[in-house]
Amino acid sequence: MTERTGRRAAVLNLRALVVLHDLSMIVIAWLTARLGTLWLLGESAIGWQQLAIEINLILIIQGFLQWRAGLYRGVWRFASLPDLGNLVRAALLGAVAGAAVLLLLEAPVELMVLMVWVFPVLLLVLLGLPRLTYRVFKDMRMEVRRRRLTQRTLILGAGRSGRLLVPELRRRGDYDIVGFLDDNKRLRNAEIRSVPVLGAIDRLPRVVREAAIDLVVIAIPSATNQQMQRIVEICERAEVDFKTLPTLKELGSSFTRFDDLKPVAIDDLLGRDPVSLDWESIRAGLAGKRVLVTGGGGSIGAELCRQIARLDPAALVVLDNSEYNLYRIDHRLKGEFRDLIVETVLGDICDSATIDNLMERSRPEVVFHAAAYKHLPMLQNQIREAFRNNVIGTRRVADAAAHYGVETFVLISTDKAVNPTNVMGATKRVAELYCQHLNRQSQTRFITVRFGNVLNSTGSVVPLFNEQIRRGGPVTVTHPEITRYFMTIAEAGQLILQAGVLGKGGEVFVLDMGEPVRISYLAEQLIRLAGKEPGRDIEIVYTGLRPGEKLFEELFHADESYVRTDHEKIYLTRAGNATPDWMIERLGRAEQAVLRYDNGRLRAILVELVPEIGQLPPRKRKIMPLAG
């Protein structure tokens, strides 16, 4: 109640000031008109007593008339055409009031005629000009404030996405669309939704300076990695903030809209073109079936679970030895897929009792084996744990899959299993060989999928670099020339599902990883995307190759030939001759070494199983230059 009373008092005080102003303007208008008319009539004598009477009378009459004309119903800040009409009406009534006062005081006719014209005009100017000035002043202040709140925005790409984006951004009111830039010469000097096309994208730095651009929006969803790298480089050269549209996957979320702009991420620069999949065959291979994902709480495993859940499986079983990761994927799956039967199991793939109980109880028809230790430097000095998890754990799950009649077993492997020079890669290579051997001994189809690094996966270089950048640097890279293959988590998951459908058993599918990326380039781009300058704001420090680390990775062994499959991004390798009996005997001895914690013996057996680990890496292949 007190607050409402205070507001009412403030309004009354403001209105009183307006009335006082108008009464003052009446006095000034009358005095100016009277003195002016006397001068025009050539009279020098002024009757001050009569003038005082005239002013008092005109104040009373004209004040009443202005109140009746509705001059105090509006607010100066919002003065408009109706208010101007009220002012004109008050001025005309002022002419009548002035004539009545002069007639009452028996003034000369000549004076009365002049006053009837001069007084209303002066009154209109003196009442209207302050109102107009105040309105213009307030509008200018609001415009300045509005410009501070809105961003002068330039859209890169005048195609369909850019055209659809204009009304969406205008509707939000936070963006002032200045123009488009597009490399299509046919669009030069054109206008799209009243927004001009100002030239090619290369003109961005100049346009940013000349038009005082605050934000650039990249609206080219069809851009390749090389094109995105070029555009980002131009934006960085222009020293302007830039964002891009959400991806198709993000738009699939009910929480993401087309006009929800997002910062350009490293996935946009090093990610891949959208993957075209045969979803009908994938759905046919998984719909209505019981699916088990080991390591389902990890980066790849969790992505597999989400994609499998969309394909209407009969049930999805998720196994992981991390309580927190298992909780996260359980919470997400049950939140997004309420009709899906989900079972989450906390357990170790090396524990035979856990695996046997799970297989007997759940009876999965398809198994995706994503559980693995993968941190290369750590595993280099933890050979027992690496072998126990990556080899023995895989053997436990694969043997159980064969015993309980699983239809398809998909082993998720890595490019580090090719000519490995480290413990992690060697253990994954042994896992590949064992699954190929087991495929010959059982009715289960054992399929291996091999690919490189996954952007933003747990333990990968991207989260590490981002953390170092947040701390102010330095960003540590092992070698200036070190390169790796990269793909996005989503693409990896999709291609694993596709390979699982293509496989007939015994194959090693290799995902097309495109061209390898220099890690130093990756570090530089992450620094720039954080709004910093490499070498100036954040230093890049080269620490030297770590034990077991190669300058580059390979996707095929020397004794493997490969052919294309029906899918353009999946290759099928043809392996050389295997020696299963010899390998099985070594695996038995390795398990005994694991039980005895005999790392020396285990290392010797691993070298016997994978002779490449004791050799120098092969000669470096030619690396295609990176755009940008």
Q: Which pLDDT belongs to residue 249?
A: 47
Residue-wise pLDDT for 416-443, tens only, equals 888 888 899 899 999 998 998 888 888 9
Model confidence at 278, in pLDDT bands (50, 70, 90)?
Answer: confident
C-beta atoms surrounding 171 within 10 Å: 10
pLDDT mean over 513-517: 72
**Helix, strand, coil percent values for the chain (each to nearest 5):** 55, 15, 30
pLDDT mean over 402-422: 89
Task: Assess whether the region 151-264 and the region 289-456+486-513+555-614 belong to the same CATH fold.
Answer: yes
Q: Which pLDDT belongs to residue 333?
A: 92
pLDDT mean over 620-626: 35
- Asked if the model's pLDDT at residue 220 lies above 90, the reply is no
Q: Which pLDDT belongs to residue 197?
A: 87
> Do 511 and 492 form a contact (C-beta atoms < 8 A)?
yes
- Asked if the model's pLDDT at residue 143 lies above 70, the reply is no
Average confidence score pLDDT of the chain: 77
Distance separating the N- and C-terminal Cα atoms of the chain:
65
Residue 168, both tokens: 């969406």
Percent of the chain at pLDDT > 90 equals: 21
Q: Which residue has the higher pLDDT, 344 or 526?
A: 344
By residue count, the chain amounts to 628
Backbone angles phi, psi at 49, to 5 degrees: -65, -45
For the chain, what are the domain ranges? 2-147, 151-264, 289-456+486-513+555-614
* 561 bridge partner residues: 574
> Do 426 and 434 form a contact (C-beta atoms < 8 A)?
no
Q: How many whole angstroms separate alpha carbon 400 and alpha carbon 355?
A: 7
As to burial, measured by CB atoms within 10 angstroms (0-12 exposed, 13-18 middle, 19+ buried), residue 306 is middle
Model confidence at 626, in pLDDT bands (50, 70, 90)?
Answer: very low
Q: Which CATH class is domain 289-456+486-513+555-614?
A: alpha beta
- Angle formed at CA 143 by CA 139 and CA 149, multiple of 5 degrees: 145
Is CATH 3.30.470.20 what the domain over 151-264 is classified as, yes or no?
no
Q: Which residue has the higher pLDDT, 146 or 25?
A: 25
**Side-chain half-sphere exposure of 193, counting CA atoms within 13 A:** 18
Residue-wise pLDDT for 543-578, tens only, equals 887 776 666 666 555 555 566 666 666 777 765 555
**Side-chain half-sphere exposure of 286, counting CA atoms within 13 A:** 32
- DSSP labels, 261-318: -EE--HHHHHS-SPPP--HHHHHHHHTTSEEEEETTTSHHHHHHHHHHHTT--SEEEE
Please state the pTM of the whole predicted model. Answer: 0.64
Residue 351, both tokens: 């524990």
Q: Which residue has the higher pLDDT, 452 or 196?
A: 196
Residue 400, both tokens: 């159980």
